Structure formats: structure tokens, C-alpha cells
Amino acid sequence: MTQRAAPGVVIDGFRLEEKVHVGGMATLWRVVRTDIEDGAAQTPLLMKMPILGDNNDPTAIVGFEVEQMIMPKLSGVHVPHFVASGDFTGHPYIVMEQIAGQSLRSRFDASPLPPDEVAAVGAKVATALHDLHRQHVIHHDIKPSNIMFRASGEAILIDFGLSRHDKLPDLLAEEFRLPLGTAPYMSPEQVLNIRNDPRSDLFALGVLMYHLSTGARPLGNPTSVRGLRRRLYRDAIPPRALNQKIPPWLQEIIMRCLTVDPAQRYDSAAQLAFDLQHPDQVPLTARAQKMHRDGFGTVVKRWFRAAGTQATPQQSATEQLSQSPIVVAAIDLAQGSEALAESLRMTARRILQTAPGARLACVTVQKTNRIGMDVTVDKDGRNLHVKHLVGLKHWAHALNMPADKITYHVLEAPDPATAIVDYARVNDVDHIVIGSRGSSTLRRYLGSVSSQVVAQADCTVTVVKSTGAGNQQ
């Protein structure tokens, strides 16, 4: 017989202390472990229990089972630490780390927020989503109450009851046919019951950023399937029409997230985070200046395409991410070796051809002094930073890449290897391509930049010699 939840009750070694939240589908209790006497030494824990009753939505029970399957598979700073769970044969629960602080929901009372703050929040959430997607999970319920922040600043995603794991059975898809999600944030493909495209989460993040920027929801809060289907053909009012303080680059990003066709959104959450952290590199299209919804003719065409159709299933989250890496080409413009530059181009081109959604960041390091004044112009009086940018664009010209798939960055630092590694870590880079001119006595003694990058980087590194041969580490 299931034990009634109340303060002081012990369930599988966890004592209920205080009920901290009652939702539509579950209650949250603060709990402590009874096998650890020193309460001060315990990590704060929460127990989540489903609300069971005759009138409850059956998706609540299935969703709880889904969360019980998925949470033990997750790790990292962007999710609560899983501790234990109990199934429906006894007392169903999930015990997890308790996150201090408030959810993102509290920030919406102050909207519209300044553009830089919207971008900072969006970048943190996108980074968390990328980490989740790399763990084979699509969240499918990104909304303000499901996003929290650690004291150290990282976004944390909670509530995985509607999520899908590439490697686990999708119980929700197997048992239900109606769209699943929270209406204002559901992507068009979710309306069509397509649950295996990670770009659905990017659509929801676009809704969040729109709301934070304007104080309004882009697609309202529909209460019927018919109302939800409007987003298959009706676009949102451009955010700058509601708030002219929004810069064109932020509208470009938000409207790209909100496109009906997921193929026209960002290829990965990491690429979205990249743009939010480098607004000066965002290529602007017509949507950046748009002030009105699409015209009647465009909407009618979309309506005919959407009427009575079911979307074709997309590839899995794992497959999508594998085709959408961020690649860094680390270029030493001072080396003056066209042979090495060409070898780098050939290697970068070969890597990019294997991943159609890849993004290339061309990076060089302008060395600065640890002590003393830095020289900012060359002997001819040209600004060195601008000169390096021009050099990067000249190097990349032969690659003939679309403007939205390539960016250029001059890093100013005393240590080139550390600057490249830090850049890769902050921007979730998947692959670094870097040149090496070969050996010398000084390089063997001090260690070359490329060897230091290989030793320190968390991602794949390909070292290219001036002969054109690549050596993947």
C-alpha cells in the first residue's frame, strides 16, 4: 500500500521535510537522507512525486516514467544531479539535487529586457541545450519555469517528462497522438507529432527570447489543436515592430529560430549560442529589418502546404549534431607560408565537406605583451587588428562559404595556445585545425603552439604540416 506523503514520513531512506511546490502533475518535497546523521553535510535534495488520482491526465504518469528513464542517463552542470527513484509498484518518486535560486520565469516580469541581457540569457540556455542534445536528449518543453541558473551562472534544464532520448523507447509517441508540449513554446513539427528533431528546442528558445525582448509572446497561447496549427503557416510580428530598441542582429537571430521549417533555423544549439556571443559576426538578411508579417500570398502558400499534411520525420538528435559541428581554423598570419596556408585550406575544406551543417570560425592570435605597452599599428601605420581580419578573410576566400556559415576572430592574448583553447572551450568547438611549420630547436625546447593545443584542447585537433599532410589527434 502506498504511504501517504507527509512531513516526517520516510520513503526508501529519504525523510520528507517540507512540501515546497505543488504543480499540475507533481509535488516537490525537500528531503534528507536518513543514513547520514550530519544534516549540515548533506547535499540539499528534492523528491518529486506524481499526483495520482481518477481525474489525472494519463500523460502525467507516462511522462513521469519517461523522466525516470532519462534522468539517470544525464550528467554535467546543466541538469540536476540524479540521486534515486522509486517505481509505481511501491511509491513513485525521483530524488535529485535541489537547485538554489529562482527559475527564468521571474525575469519575465521585468520584460522587455535590454538586448545584451536577452542575448546573455539566450546563450546560456543554448549552451545547456547543446550539452543535453549531445547526450541524445531533446527536451520538448523549454519554457521559463523549466530553466534555472546555478550560482556560478550556468543554465540548468529541469523537468524531462516530455523529453525524447535517442537510445530509449519514446513512450509518449507510442501511447499518444495529440501534440505534446506547452502551447506558446511548441514548434511546428511538435504540432505534427515529430519528436526527433533537436531544432524544436531552438524554436522554443526563440519564443523565450522574443518574449524577453518585447514583453509579448510571438504566437500567443492557443488552446486547441486548430490554434496550434496556425504556426504551420502564420509567422510572428517582427520583434522590432514592438520594440524598436531591439538591434537588427537580435531580430535576425530570433526570427531565424522561429522559422516554420526547422531546416532554416540554426543547425545546432551551439551555433545559436555562438551568434548570441558574437553579435558583430551575425550576417544580416532581410528579416533583420523586417517590420511586418509575411504577406497574404506567402501565408496562403504555406497554408496549402500545411493543410492535411504530416511532416516527414527528421534525423535523430545525434545525427543532426554530427552533421553540424563548429570547426576552428587557427591561422598564424605571421608565418608567411602560402604552402602551409593552402594545406590548412585543403584540410578545412575536407572536414567541412563531411558535415553539411558545419560552421567555420577563422581564428588568429595577435600577441600582446604581458608587461608593457602593446603595438597596435604596423610599420606602415595600419591597425593590426583590422589587418589581421583582412588576412583571415583573404585566407578563407577560396573556400567560398555562405556568409552565415563562416566568422572571423582576432584574439588578443600573450599566449596563443591558451587563447585558442579557451576560445574553443567557451564556444563549444568540435574540431580545431591548426598549422605547424615543423620542428626546430626552440620549438622542441618550448613546445610549439600546435602541440600545446593538442595537449590542452577538449575537442578533436588536426595538425597540418606545410606538406599538406594532416595528423589528427
Which sequence spans correspond to the domains of the chain? 10-97, 104-320, 325-472
Distance from C-alpha of 396 to C-alpha of 17, rounded to nearest angstrom: 61
Q: How far is CA 377 from the centre of its chain?
A: 38
In this structure, the strands spanning 460-465 and 164-165 are: unpaired
Distance from C-alpha of 93 to C-alpha of 103, rounded to nearest angstrom: 22
pLDDT surpassing 80 at residue 457: yes
Give the per-residue pLDDT at 200.
Answer: 96
Q: Are 31 and 7 in contact (CB under 8 A)?
A: no
Give the per-residue pLDDT at 470.
Answer: 44
Distance from C-alpha of 121 to C-alpha of 434, rounded to nearest angstrom: 32
Distance from C-alpha of 197 to C-alpha of 305, rounded to nearest angstrom: 20
Highest mean pLDDT (candidates 146-160, 300-314, 443-457): 146-160
Give the pLDDT band of residue 90 (cuts 50, 70, 90).
Answer: confident
The secondary structure of residue 281, as a DSSP letter, is G
In this structure, the strands spanning 431-436 and 326-330 are: parallel
| Sequence-distant (≥ 6) Cβ neighbours of residue 143 within 8 angstroms | 182, 184, 185, 204, 208
pLDDT surpassing 60 at residue 2: no
pTM: 0.87
Q: Are 31 and 46 in contact (CB under 8 A)?
A: yes
Residue 185, judged by CB atoms within 10 A of its CB (0-12, 13-18, 19+), counts as: buried
Distance from C-alpha of 308 to C-alpha of 226, rounded to nearest angstrom: 12
pLDDT surpassing 70 at residue 204: yes
Look-up of cell digits 516554420:
260
Distance from C-alpha of 228 to C-alpha of 221, rounded to nearest angstrom: 9
Cell triple for 156: 540548468
Residue 425's SS3 state is: helix
Q: What is the CATH number of domain 10-97?
A: 3.30.200.20
Architecture of domain 104-320: Orthogonal Bundle (1.10)
Give the pLDDT band of residue 473 (cuts 50, 70, 90).
Answer: very low
Distance from C-alpha of 230 to C-alpha of 248, rounded to nearest angstrom: 26
Intra-chain end-to-end CA distance of the chain, in Å: 57
Cis peptide before 112 (omega within 30 of 0): yes
Q: Are 53 and 27 in contact (CB under 8 A)?
A: no
Mean pLDDT within 292-296: 83
Return the ∠ at Cα 221 (arms to 223 and 207), rounded to 5°. 140
| Sequence-distant (≥ 6) Cβ neighbours of residue 406 within 8 angstroms | 359, 360, 361, 362, 396, 399
Give the per-residue pLDDT at 441.
Answer: 46
- The pLDDT tens digits for 45-61 are 999 998 876 556 677 88
pLDDT surpassing 80 at residue 256: yes
Distance from C-alpha of 147 to C-alpha of 156, rounded to nearest angstrom: 6
CATH superfamily of 325-472: HUPs (3.40.50.620)
Mean pLDDT within 426-442: 78
pLDDT surpassing 60 at residue 310: no
Mean pLDDT within 92-113: 90
- The pLDDT tens digits for 340-395 are 888 899 999 999 998 888 999 999 988 887 655 555 665 666 677 888 888 899 99
Give the per-residue pLDDT at 41.
Answer: 60
Distance from C-alpha of 30 to C-alpha of 430, rounded to nearest angstrom: 39
pLDDT surpassing 70 at residue 467: no
Distance from C-alpha of 437 to C-alpha of 335, rounded to nearest angstrom: 8
Reported as type and span, the H/E element at residue 130 is helix 115-134
What number of CA atoms fall less than 13 Å from residue 113's CA on the CB side?
Answer: 20
Q: Are 408 and 389 in contact (CB under 8 A)?
A: yes
